[in-house]
Structure 1
């Protein structure tokens, strides 16, 4: 007769193997839980960021529509804010609001804030005149874009 029972060392090895597998499964579960929490925190932060961007975009667009914000300044700000939104690549904002992007492209090279102070007054006046000319030229189409943006973000 042959003895079909396993030796004691085989049972111990099997038990140790089961304990290791259970420990690794527990550790993997904890890591997955941490990853889920991390992804949730990231998603919440992105949603909050998009909400803040949305609010800023609507505020600037309303100010432009009501004549409280120069069209060039508003276009600069709106294009940057739209580009910062999570879905900016898929949304194709440049195609949806072409006049805003046209203005942005025309004036993005012009210095602002502290950089502007580094230029001679004559050159600043020349840039201001150029910018104001663009505002007059594009006013109607920019305001159309602003009103469409307000509908889209309303």
Structure 2
């Protein structure tokens, strides 16, 4: 719930920023100079790019959350709490690597199953490789939602 509130607050702040920057663009246009027009175009394009990126990130988050719930309902969602931790509370790297190997082999064995890619993304995340975790999750989303769009 805390994450949803944070996303909501950040989205509202970003929308407020878009409105304020749009107002500045109008001021630049009223200046009537070439520089003013250039700044106005930039002030309009940047929020548009930001809004598109925000929409993509929200869609990614919603789909990931939906898939996680679906996988949990099927009993196929791995639990990070099952892994041993160091005295500081971090997940043991050796255990994370072993788990990663299991899910990597699963994804290699079933490359068209979104569930295996979701679990691989989770394993990457637990291992601390966020970039590859997002890439694997994108693959899972592509596989999961390709069936609905075709």
Which TM-score band (shorter chain)?
0.3 to 0.5
- Select the structure of larger CA radius of gyration: 1
Specify which structure has the bigger relative contact order, considering alpha-carbon pairs within 8 angstroms and separated by 6 or more residues: 1
